[in-house]
């Protein structure tokens, strides 16, 4: 521990503060006598007390605020609590509760964390980056707050997302908390409620667009290149109109990825891999109907296409497995305004010449005509997977795969309990937000939550341990397949159905296996130094930080 920090300054440093775990000798040497209650606790005793305090709050948002305050007070204790109770804490740290925390960010704001980069300061971004709390950074998560979960524009409140994501990089992936940096790019907001809220803490102007917005992002990227070369930069919750272009523009220039596009896709592919094995089919046998055509939905399809190519399908054969439906109906080649990525999945107009109805067919008609084996939702349209749609699909499919992936819970395309009822328990389901277990054939069957936490912390661990310089598509596919393998190994011994995704409670262990798969792919792709599997496994284990007071200030 540093000899330069004593007394109240030491207690105010969340990475060095041990609270009641300071020994009597440490209290005397560090000027802490009288500043703490007399009792000396172990870290586990502190965590037990914090766990009890957590349940003293009845509302999820209040529990979220409590955990954030604990993080700002004693990070080692915070992460010990989280790692011991991942399943309980995850919905509070992140989705769905983080959505409400973002919406009320200005109201519940307590203490600064991360960096706020305003459009007005764009020419000073490099200077501002030098104000970061710690010089060495392994992972940086950035958002502009424009498309927070399914809640839309939350302006500066979007900072809750990078903070939450990086908490999981540490809790699951083991990235040292001192080596993470949340960033909010404040381009303004078009949310009228925020603009009219006298307590709003962000830039109180309309969002910049066009060339001004591109300049903002370029200034940020240039500052990161200059100040934090080699740092993994994750883009998070950018609007569809910006997400894919930003990724395309910078993915070959930086060590970077977009979690909404690539992370969501990898988790969906991992769950899909398990589902097809349970159903006794192949990935190449599936017919996919995708509801929603934003960047996340297209990203899922793109990653499945990559996996299909590995199974020997041509690009045309892989594309023919997909039917995309959005608010205007089936994506058709005659439709104007499609992005290049969307147009790749648009169907030929003559395919629907004999279908019922006029114009672009909607979801129910597409399901009736296509007979999909997999139905994926990333539309934020609550209840869009209706009983009619699901029963129609189940009538022609023995084990229908249905993934209502939209977040938060209030935007999910279906409730898994309804899906189980409408399919007589035959459904293979994964959701974007947490749901209670299903009761099928007298057994409680957990609902797999296709949370990106299965992938992005492991990617952070992989690039840190392997010293990767880029994040490639093959690294993400390798991670996805590793997720499926971890799920298969966690099948119950009592003959219950295997989960589509690994148990959240064992995610730190799974993260090492997923990181190893991604690291091996990085070496094969030539974006990481040559290393054997044994060397990478050892590097990953060494890089995964464990929350205890002896490791708090190392990194």
Q: Is the separation of the CB atoms in 134 and 15 below 8 Å?
A: no
Residue with the two structure tokens 């992140």: 94
Cβ-defined contacts of 55-63 (< 8 Å, 24+)? 60/91, 60/92, 60/96, 60/97, 60/100, 61/97, 61/100, 61/101, 61/104, 61/108, 63/92, 63/97
Closest alpha carbon to 385 in 401, 407, 404, 371: 404
Classify residue 207 by its DSSP letter: P
Q: What is the Cα–Cα distance from 506 to 51, expressed in whole angstroms?
A: 19
Q: What is the Cα–Cα distance from 6 to 3, expressed in whole angstroms?
A: 7
Beta strands 232-235 and 139-143, pairing class: parallel
Dihedral angle over CA of 423, 424, 428, 430, nearest 10 = 80
Strand order in the sheet with 322-326: 329-330, 322-326, 288-291, 374-377, 401-404, 428-431, 448-449
| CA dihedral (209, 214, 216, 217) positive or negative | positive
Residues forming beta bridges with residue 440, ordered by sequence position: 443
Closest alpha carbon to 370 in 359, 362, 379: 362
Q: Which of 18, 79, 119, 165 is catalytic?
A: 165
Classify residue 172 by its DSSP letter: I
Strand order in the sheet with 115-118: 115-118, 180-186, 139-143, 232-235, 256-258
Beta strands 329-330 and 322-326, pairing class: antiparallel
DSSP per-residue letters across 261-288: IIIHHHHHHHHHHHHHHHHT--GGG--E
- Assess whether 165 carries a catalytic annotation: yes
Q: Which of 94, 200, 213, 549 is catalytic?
A: 94
Q: Is the separation of the CB atoms in 309 and 277 below 8 Å?
A: no
Q: Is the separation of the CB atoms in 465 and 543 below 8 Å?
A: yes
Q: Is the separation of the CB atoms in 323 and 288 below 8 Å?
A: yes
Closest alpha carbon to 264 in 140, 407, 416: 407
3-state secondary structure labels for all residues of 111-131: CCCCEEEEHHHHHHHHHHHCC
Q: Would you call 551 helix, strand, or coil by DSSP?
A: helix
Q: What is the Cα–Cα distance from 530 to 539, expressed in whole angstroms?
A: 13
Q: What is the Cα–Cα distance from 183 to 132, expressed in whole angstroms?
A: 10
**Residue 395 CA: distances (Å) to CA of 307, 365, 418:** 27, 14, 16
Cα 87–Cα 91–Cα 97 angle in degrees, nearest 5: 165
Catalytic residue annotation: 94, 165
């Amino acid at each position: 521990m540093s000899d330069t920090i004593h007394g109240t300054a030491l207690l105010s440093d969340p990475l060095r503060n041990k609270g009641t775990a300071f020994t009597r000798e440490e209290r005397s040497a560090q000027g802490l006598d009288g500043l703490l209650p007399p009792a000396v606790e172990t870290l586990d005793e502190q965590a037990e007390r914090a766990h009890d305090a957590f349940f003293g709050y009845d509302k999820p948002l209040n529990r979220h605020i409590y955990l954030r305050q604990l993080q700002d007070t004693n990070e080692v204790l915070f992460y010990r609590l989280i790692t011991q109770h991942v399943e309980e804490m995850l919905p509070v740290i992140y989705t769905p509760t983080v959505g409400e925390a973002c919406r009320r960010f200005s109201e519940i704001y307590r203490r600064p964390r991360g960096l706020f980069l305003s459009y007005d300061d764009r020419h000073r971004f490099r200077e501002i980056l030098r104000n970061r709390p710690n010089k060495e950074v392994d992972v940086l998560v950035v958002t502009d707050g424009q498309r927070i979960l399914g809640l839309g524009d939350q302006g500066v409140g979007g900072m809750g997302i990078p903070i939450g994501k990086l908490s999981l990089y540490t809790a699951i992936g083991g990235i040292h908390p001192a080596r993470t940096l949340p960033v909010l790019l404040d381009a303004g907001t078009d949310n009228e409620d925020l603009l009219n809220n006298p307590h709003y803490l962000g830039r109180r102007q309309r969002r910049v667009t066009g060339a001004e917005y591109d300049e903002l992002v370029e200034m940020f990227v240039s500052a990161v290149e200059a100040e934090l070369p080699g740092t993994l930069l994750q883009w998070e919750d950018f609007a569809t109109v910006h997400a894919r272009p930003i990724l395309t523009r910078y993915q070959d220039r930086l060590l970077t990825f977009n979690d909404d596009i690539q992370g969501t896709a990898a988790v969906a592919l991992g769950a899909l891999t398990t589902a097809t094995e349970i159903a006794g089919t192949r990935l190449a046998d599936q017919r996919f109907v995708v509801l929603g055509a934003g960047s996340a939905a297209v990203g899922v399809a793109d990653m499945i296409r990559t996996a299909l190519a590995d199974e020997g399908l041509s690009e045309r054969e892989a594309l023919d497995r997909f039917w995309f439906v959005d608010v205007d109906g089936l994506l058709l080649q005659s439709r104007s305004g499609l992005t290049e990525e969307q147009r790749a999945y648009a169907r030929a107009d003559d395919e629907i010449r004999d279908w019922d109805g006029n114009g672009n067919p909607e979801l129910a008609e597409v399901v009736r005509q296509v007979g999909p084996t997999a139905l994926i939702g990333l539309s934020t349209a609550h209840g869009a997977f209706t009983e009619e749609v699901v029963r129609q699909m189940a009538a022609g499919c023995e084990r229908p795969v249905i993934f209502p992936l939209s977040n938060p819970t209030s935007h999910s395309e279906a409730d898994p309990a309804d899906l189980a009822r409408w399919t007589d328990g035959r459904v293979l389901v994964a959701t974007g937000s947490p749901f209670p277990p299903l009761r099928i054939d007298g057994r409680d069957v957990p609902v797999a939550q296709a949370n990106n936490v299965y992938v992005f912390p492991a990617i952070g661990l992989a690039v840190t341990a392997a010293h990767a310089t880029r994040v490639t598509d093959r690294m993400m596919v390798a991670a996805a397949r590793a997720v499926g393998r971890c799920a298969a190994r966690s099948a119950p011994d009592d003959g219950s159905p295997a989960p589509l995704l690994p148990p959240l409670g064992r995610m730190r262990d799974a993260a090492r296996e997923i990181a190893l798969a991604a690291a091996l792919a990085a070496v094969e792709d030539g974006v990481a130094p040559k290393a054997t599997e044994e060397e990478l496994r050892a590097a990953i284990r060494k890089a995964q930080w464990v929350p205890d007071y002896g490791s708090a200030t190392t990194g």
